[in-house]
Structures are given as C-alpha cells and as structure tokens.
C-alpha cells in the first residue's frame, strides 16, 4: 500500500497548499483600493428567490441582467436560468426565455434543467466527504473494489480512485460514449473497456471520461453502504435543502416546470443514455438549488462541506488541455483537474468549477473560492456563448483596478447578426413524444 500512502501524502500537501492560497487570496482581496460595500444580510439557503432590491455588492447586477436578457433573446437560445453568489451570499437569481419554444411557457426559478457534467463535482464532493468522515482511501487502487470497470493491460492494478475521479485512466477521450448514446448498457460497456484503445499510459495524462468515470458510483455506494444516489441525497442534497435536485429522467420530467431540450430552434427528443451514468451526468435541479450547491462550495455550509473537504475535492491533481476555446481559452491559465472539479487561474486568481453539455442542454458553474464569489447558469440549447457569462460576472466583481484583468468583453454580441422576430408559440403536449427513451 506504499502507493496509497504516497498519494495520501500528496493529497494532504495539495489540500494544505489550496487552503493557504484561499486564505492568502481572502486577505489580498481586502487590500486598500479594493474596499466594497458592507455585505447585505445573508440570503437564507431556503429562500426561494432574490428580489432586485437584494442586488447589492460590488457586482453591477442591473447591467448584467440586461446583458443576460439580450443573450436569452437570441434565436440560438430558448430558456436561461442564472444565479450569482457574492461574498458567500446568494445575491441574484434570474430567469429568461421559455421552457419550450412551441408553447412559450416561461422559465421560472422553479424550472428544472439538467446539470450534465456538473454532476461529476457531486461525485468528487461525496468522495472527499467519505474520505474525511469515513476513512475512504482515495489512494487505494481500483482493484481493491468490486466494480463493472475493466481497463486495458491490468489498469485496475495501476489506477487509484483519485486518478479515476480526475480522468487518469489513460483511455481515449470519451471512450465508448457513442455506444452509450446508441442504447448499450453502461455496465457492459465498462467491462468492454478492457479492450479499448489507450490515449496514454494509465496515470500519465488526463483523458476525459463518462462511462469509466461512472464506476465511482459503484465504489462510493459500497463505501457509503447504500446506493450512490441515496448517499448523495443523505449526505449532501438533503442537508443543503436541495429538494429539486434529483437523479434520472424522472427527476427532470416529473417536475411541474421543466426545460425541454432545443437544438437549432427545434425541440429535441429526450434520450435516457447519460442519465444511466448518475455520477458522470445524472443530476437535474432548478436554479435555486444549483445556487445552494455553489454557496456550499464557497464555504457557506461548513457543517455539510467543511473547509478541508472542499480543499480536498478542489485540489488540482493533473494538468489538462485548454478549456473552452479562442480568447477565453487563452485567458485561463494552468488548467487542471481534481476530484470531479476543474481549476485554472484567471486574472491572477484561482478559479474552480465545471461545465456540462448534453444534447439540448448546457450548464456551467465557475467560482473564486477565496473571494467566495461565482456564478451558475443552465440553459436548454446547445449554444456555447453563455459559457462566457461567469467571467463577465467575475470581471464586474474584481473591478477595473484588478491587475492582469482580461480586456475582452465576454458578452459582446455586436458581431452577431440581429435576431429575427420569434414566431408565435404553438400549442404543444407536455408529455408524449418528448419523453420517448
């Protein structure tokens, strides 16, 4: 178990460094010239909404609200839900557009969207919690647990649980995802990965996975003594009062208001494929509960996710390729991956988060842990421009005096063609063909 002890030591050092960085950044942000207004009264995590009167702080909320509305009005979009946490408090919750372009039903704060790969951070957070509370050895080899996962060349005896959570299996990127989308069983596909091609020697590179990653749902469920979904509910979602956060297709379609997936203006038919990977892509919720999840990850709920647990989950374990593309990719330095969480530096600050994409849905969660500030958003279309929104929010928070602040206007729409008037909504069935498997 020498490998496990070494990795445990590495985890400890990474966590200490990350905690130290958080403390340093917290004091640095209070330096003269960066003073900000007294914080408003904390918004209760049980509060169902935030009124414009609560839009107080460093961030220019009215301006961002107008710009978010302009994005939501684009023909590439359908509906959009946004929440901002500033200095540890939920200050902004706003929704735009429609759940379904055919019916014109408006998005509300109660509308449920898919998290897609934001779900991976749930697995990483549960793993960190089980490590701290139950003694789960993140440095133990995958061969120590029974699971459906098989890897080439005896990889189970080389890859640790932490390395599985940080995508270091060596498999080619997104291995066998297409087979999953074609309806094949994810457990059988994990067994077939024994014959899959490798991108690199296991443990030597980051190669993003869904099917292999979801083996953590089997392992963490065993460690918690229950189903993975029940462990998440009992230890994370229920204590955080995240009542709308659910796993599986019914967690979306069973809601009174849920966003239909759109691509190029057309409503898509739902497929159950990625819901069968609960740890990789299985969560859905409304924007209120995603805001509560963000608030917990900036340290507002130490009794549920402690500082050491957050540091362990967020700590970078492996360098990755660039995130996103174009100017945004160039603005994000030292891209890395931890336990289901990405990290990078932006404008001289360490950011943590994740983004997600599945047919007809997108989601993003980006935050500055030291400043206890960030943004979450979900939208029911495949347009990528809203992935830029968190960086516009953080630019507003940091202010023009921030050193190394990027010069890009992340939400500039001037180069895009003017949107044409939307057609009038048409009556549509709420169920039926939309929820075909």
Q: Half-sphere exposure of residue 238, counting CA atoms within 13 Å on the CB side?
A: 7
Residue 346 and residue 330 in contact, taking contact as beta carbons nearer than 8 Å = no
CA torsion angle 270 424 79 322 (round to 10): 80
Spatial separation of the C-alpha atoms in residues 367 and 215, rounded to whole Å? 27
Alpha helices in 152-305 (DSSP H): 161-165, 177-181, 186-192, 215-224, 228-232, 249-253, 278-281, 287-297
Spatial separation of the C-alpha atoms in residues 187 and 208, rounded to whole Å? 18
Strands of 131-260 (E only): list them.
Answer: 246-247
107, 124, 113, 191: which is closest to 163 by C-alpha? 124
Burial string for 392-402 (b: 16+ CB within 10 Å, else e) reads bbbbbbbeeeb
- What is residue 152's three-state secondary structure? helix
pLDDT tens track, the chain, 437 positions: 444 444 444 444 444 444 444 433 333 333 333 332 223 333 344 454 578 888 999 999 999 999 999 999 999 999 999 999 999 999 999 999 999 999 999 999 999 999 999 999 999 999 999 999 889 999 999 999 999 999 998 999 999 999 999 999 999 999 999 999 999 999 999 999 999 999 999 999 999 999 999 999 999 999 999 999 999 999 999 999 999 999 999 999 999 999 999 998 899 999 999 999 999 999 999 999 999 999 999 999 999 999 999 999 999 999 999 999 899 999 999 999 999 999 999 999 999 999 999 999 999 999 999 999 999 999 999 999 999 999 999 999 999 866 566 668 999 999 888 766 555 554 433 332 232 22
Compute the C-alpha angle 130/134/139, nearest 5°. 65
Spatial separation of the C-alpha atoms in residues 413 and 415, rounded to whole Å? 6
Strand partners, 96: 80
């Amino acid at each position: 178990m020498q490998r496990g002890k070494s990795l445990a030591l590495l985890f400890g050092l990474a966590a200490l460094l990350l905690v130290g960085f958080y403390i340093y950044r917290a004091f640095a942000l209070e330096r003269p010239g960066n003073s900000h207004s007294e914080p408003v009264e904390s918004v209760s995590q049980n509060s169902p909404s935030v009124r414009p009167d609560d839009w107080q702080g460093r961030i220019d909320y009215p301006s961002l609200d107008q710009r978010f509305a302009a994005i939501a009005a684009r023909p590439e979009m359908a509906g959009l839900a946004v929440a901002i946490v500033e200095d540890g408090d939920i200050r902004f919750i706003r929704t735009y557009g429609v759940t379904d372009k055919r019916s014109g039903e408006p998005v509300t704060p109660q509308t449920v969207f898919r998290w897609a790969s934001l779900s991976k951070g749930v697995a990483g957070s549960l793993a960190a919690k089980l490590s701290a509370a139950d003694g789960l050895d993140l440095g133990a080899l995958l061969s120590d647990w029974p699971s459906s996962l098989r890897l080439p060349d005896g990889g189970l005896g080389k890859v640790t649980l932490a390395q599985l959570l940080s995508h270091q299996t060596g498999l080619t990127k997104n291995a066998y995802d297409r087979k999953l989308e074609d309806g094949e069983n994810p457990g059988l596909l994990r067994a077939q990965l024994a014959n899959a091609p490798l991108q690199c020697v296991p443990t030597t590179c980051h190669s993003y996975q869904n099917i292999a990653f979801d083996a953590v749902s089997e392992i963490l469920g065993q460690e918690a003594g229950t189903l993975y979904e029940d462990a998440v509910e009992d230890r994370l979602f229920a204590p955080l009062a995240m009542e709308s956060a659910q796993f599986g297709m019914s967690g979306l379609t069973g809601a009174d208001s849920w966003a239909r997936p759109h691509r190029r203006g057309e409503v898509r038919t739902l497929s159950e494929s990625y819901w069968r990977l609960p740890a990789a892509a299985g969560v859905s919720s409304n924007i209120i509960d995603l805001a509560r999840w963000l608030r917990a990850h900036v340290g507002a709920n130490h009794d549920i996710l402690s500082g050491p647990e957050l540091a362990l989950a967020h700590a970078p374990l492996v360098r990755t390729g660039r995130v996103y593309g174009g100017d945004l990719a160039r603005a994000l330095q030292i891209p890395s991956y931890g336990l289901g969480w990405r990290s990078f530096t932006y404008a001289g600050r360490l950011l943590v988060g994740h983004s997600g994409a599945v047919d007809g849905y997108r989601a993003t969660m980006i935050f500055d842990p030291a400043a206890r500030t960030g943004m979450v958003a979900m939208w029911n279309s495949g347009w990528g421009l809203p992935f830029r929104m968190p960086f516009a929010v953080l630019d507003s928070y940091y202010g023009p005096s921030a050193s190394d602040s990027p010069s890009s206007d992340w939400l500039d729409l001037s180069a895009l063609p003017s949107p044409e008037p939307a057609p009038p909504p048409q009556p549509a069935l709420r169920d039926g063909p939309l929820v075909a498997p």
